Amino acid sequence: MTTPRHLLAYTLLGLGLGSIAFGALARGDVYKWTDAKGNVHYEDRSDPAAKAIKLSPNVPPPDPTQLADLEVLRNGDTSEVYVSNRLGGPLEVDLALTEATNVSAEPALPLRQLLPARARVLLSRILPGGSGAASYAVGMTAMPGDPQAVPEDVVYALPMDEDNGWRIGQGFHGGFSHTDEQNRYAVDLIIPDGTPVLAARDGVVMQVESGFDRSGLNKQKYAERANVVRILHDDGTMAVYAHLRENGVYVRVGEHVGVGQQIAVSGNTGYSSGPHLHFCVQVNTGMRLVSIPFRMVTSRGFLPLPKK
């Protein structure tokens, strides 16, 4: 299983993109339109030759799978850049001007900042550089987790009842889909669809996705379509429980869960060949999400997983 890209990094380009004249502009309706070059604009007016969509509020509706929301809001002669962390845990963001004509930013962009759980933060202001017309585009990349996290040597519990007839499918370094750094140290536990999924360690629910209902072996089509629970632990590591059943998540973002507590039911969503639970432990290593080795114990001893 390849962890869906929206769980790894989120890049948003274009909010705030537009050819604007700084000055006494009306603070009313905002329109979305596309110019002849395919650039998307969000402005308080539109090109008369373009087909514009009137937006309310002043930003496009958010995608429910996003890790964060990027807002560029007009305030007099300046534009204020806000980022809202949707996660129930820390989120690291890189913010940059990907296009800039006759503008400056305070504080200067690019910048990197760690946002607390569920926080909305003003990160920068876009200022006019003179009396002429100006244009800009703001880009953001977001990554879950605190890059200062130091993993502890913790033994994880089996994330299901031992009597459910489970077996190991892919283990660490599995050749089918455990080849990238986000999933290299993951284990696929083969269990029937609808099996209760239990927390393997205490933590706080950081992220939930439960709205997908399809699966298949087309990686390009299904790699981002798995239902997932991400749980943040005390040491800053994050456990990922993936391929859950549609609407089969029983916890909410921000909720504290204890080891052995049911958090979901298993399914077969996303890039998957059959019902199973994909489990891994990840850390943010500085805008890079990587999986790390872990130990998991059952009544029969440790799962046969290599140390490296």
Taking CA atoms, 44 is separated from 58, 59, 168, 308, in Å, by 9, 11, 56, 55
The continuous run of DSSP H or E covering 18 comes out as: strand 18-20
Answer yes or no: do 177 and 131 share one domain: no
Which of these, 185, 177, 204, 156, lies nearest to 272 by C-alpha position?
177
218 part of a folded domain: yes
Kindly report the CATH number assigned to the domain that includes residue 112.
Answer: 2.60.40
- Together in a domain, 132 and 164: no
Residues 6+ away with beta carbon under 8 Å from 176: 170, 273
Evaluate whether residue 192 is within a structural domain: yes
Tell me: do 104 and 161 sit in the same domain: no
Residue 149 lies in a domain: no
Residues 98 and 127 in one domain: yes
The last residue of one of the domains, among 112, 144, 176, is 144
DSSP state of 5: G
**Could you report the per-residue pLDDT of 6-42, keeping only the tens digit for each?**
333 333 332 222 222 222 222 334 445 565 655 544 4
Quick check: is 150 in a domain? no
Phi, psi (degrees; rounded to nearest 5) at 7: -90, -10
Q: Do 11 and 69 reside in the same domain of the chain?
A: yes
Instruction: Give which of 69, 8, 1 is closest to 282, Cα–Cα.
Output: 8
Do 73 and 161 reside in the same domain of the chain? no
Residues in the chain: 308
Asked if residue 185 is part of any domain, the answer here is: yes
State phi, psi for 81 to the nearest 5 degrees.
-105, 115
Per the domain annotation, does 307 fall within a domain?
no
Same domain for 96 and 76?
yes
Residue 287 sits in the same domain as residue 233: yes
188 & 139 share domain: no
In a domain, 308, yes or no: no
Find the CATH number of the domain harbouring 274. 2.70.70.10
Give the pLDDT band of residue 163 (cuts 50, 70, 90): confident
- Quick one: residue 165, left, alpha or beta (phi over 0 = left, psi -120 to 50 = alpha)? left
* pLDDT digit string, tens, across residues 209-253: 988 766 556 555 545 667 899 999 999 999 999 989 889 999 999
Last residue of a domain, one of 108, 123, 144: 144
> Can you give the pTM of this predicted structure?
0.78
Tens digits of per-residue pLDDT, 171-199?
786 766 677 888 889 898 999 999 999 99
Are 128 and 77 spatial neighbours (Cβ–Cβ below 8 Å)?
yes
Structural domains counted in the chain: 2
SS3 state of residue 129: coil
What is the spatial distance between Cα 100 and Cα 222, in angstroms, rounded to a whole number? 36
Q: Which domain holds residue 120?
A: 5-144
Indicate the residue among 144, 169, 187 that finishes a domain.
144
